[in-house]
Amino acid sequence: MKAAITLIHLLAALVLLTGLAVADERRVDRVSYLKLDQGGGAAAGSGGDDAQLDKRKSDFVRFAQTKLQEMNRNHRLSRARMQIDKNPDGSYRAVYHEIDDGSMACEVSRSQSKSIPYVAVLSYKEQVFAASCPTPQACRNGDFTPAGVIPNRHIFSYRNGSWQ
């Protein structure tokens, strides 16, 4: 129970430390990291002295890319499963969501837990697209325009040799 509380505190601190650092858009090939030293202070980049942390970072980037593709494919409001509603004037409005792979940002750091040695934060933006059309079929083939952006952040832990 004490380990669970410690993990919760660690994850809460990690979320607070990440703050706005992951809010700006980044390309997948320029993924940012936040490395925490043992004192809890933030230090940019990753030192060459910690090959294990570097390995976990590269493992997490691959894991995160696969996870984003999976979430995009399975989204309940993907383009293939867009929501089409009839307006009072008889026209139709269609909406779908798509995860912007280019907005992906990853942060990996050590944990003080023995059972969960690393934690990571995956941040990305989910774009909302909308179109107004005379018929539902026209909406399925219509031209969509951006209607909003939803920021997302997920926390993962490294346990028993894999990210979860």
pLDDT digits (tens, 9 = 90+) for 107-131: 999 999 989 999 999 999 999 999 9
Residue 60: what pLDDT?
96
**How big is the chain by its Cα radius of gyration, in Å?**
20
Q: Tell me, what's the pLDDT at 50?
A: 83
Tens-place pLDDT, residues 29-75? 334 444 333 333 334 444 443 898 999 999 999 999 999 999 999 99
Containing 72, the helix (H) or strand (E) segment is helix 51-74
Q: What is the pLDDT of residues 4-37, one digit of tens each?
A: 444 444 444 443 334 433 333 333 333 444 433 3
The separation between CA 9 and the C-alpha centre of its own chain, rounded to angstroms, equals 21
Strand partners, 120: 108, 156
Report the SS3 class of residue 45: coil
What average pLDDT does range 92-96 have in this prediction?
A: 96
CA dist 151 and 99 (Å) reads: 10
Q: Confidence band (pLDDT; 50, 70, 90) for 101?
A: confident
> For residue 12, what pLDDT is reported?
46
Q: What is the reported pTM?
A: 0.66
